[in-house]
Amino acid sequence: MLKPWDAKSAMQNADKTPVGEPATSKAAAKITGAVTGTVSAQVASMVAMAEQDCLAQQWAELRRDIDQALARVDAGSVGYCNICGDRITEGHLAAHPGASFCAACAG
């Protein structure tokens, strides 16, 4: 319940807020800022986690490709297509050093 002086002050200021516009206060601004800051921090954290997951996946794929290339070196099959068995051209190998398929089978 409002105290008499609060009611009087409220009555005097009631006509100063335009109809249809919300009354703002420093407290409301602080709350809004705090909520916005919290949401922004949460979004930034989620983006960072997604980027880390993406990088981890890219590193895992690169590691797999390297392991497969090393296995081809050990097997003596570097430069030969895993599908048709034909020789992979030097140009294709220069452009894609880890290639395990000739241009025709890769394409």
The string of pLDDT tens digits covering residues 1-42 is 444 445 555 545 555 545 555 555 666 666 666 666 677 888
Asked if 46 contacts 60 with a C-beta cutoff of 8 angstroms, the reply is no
Flag whether the pTM goes above 0.75: no
Short-list 98, 79, 82, CA closest to 90? 79
Q: CA 42, CA 38: separation in Å to the nearest integer?
A: 6
- Predicted pLDDT of residue 63: 92
- Mean pLDDT, residues 50-55 taken together: 91
CA distances to 9, 36, 88, 98, 107 from 25, rounded to whole Å, are 15, 16, 72, 63, 64
- Give strand pairing partners of 87: 80
CA atoms within 13 A on the CB side of 85: 0
Report pLDDT for 89. 92
> Model confidence at 83, in pLDDT bands (50, 70, 90)?
very high
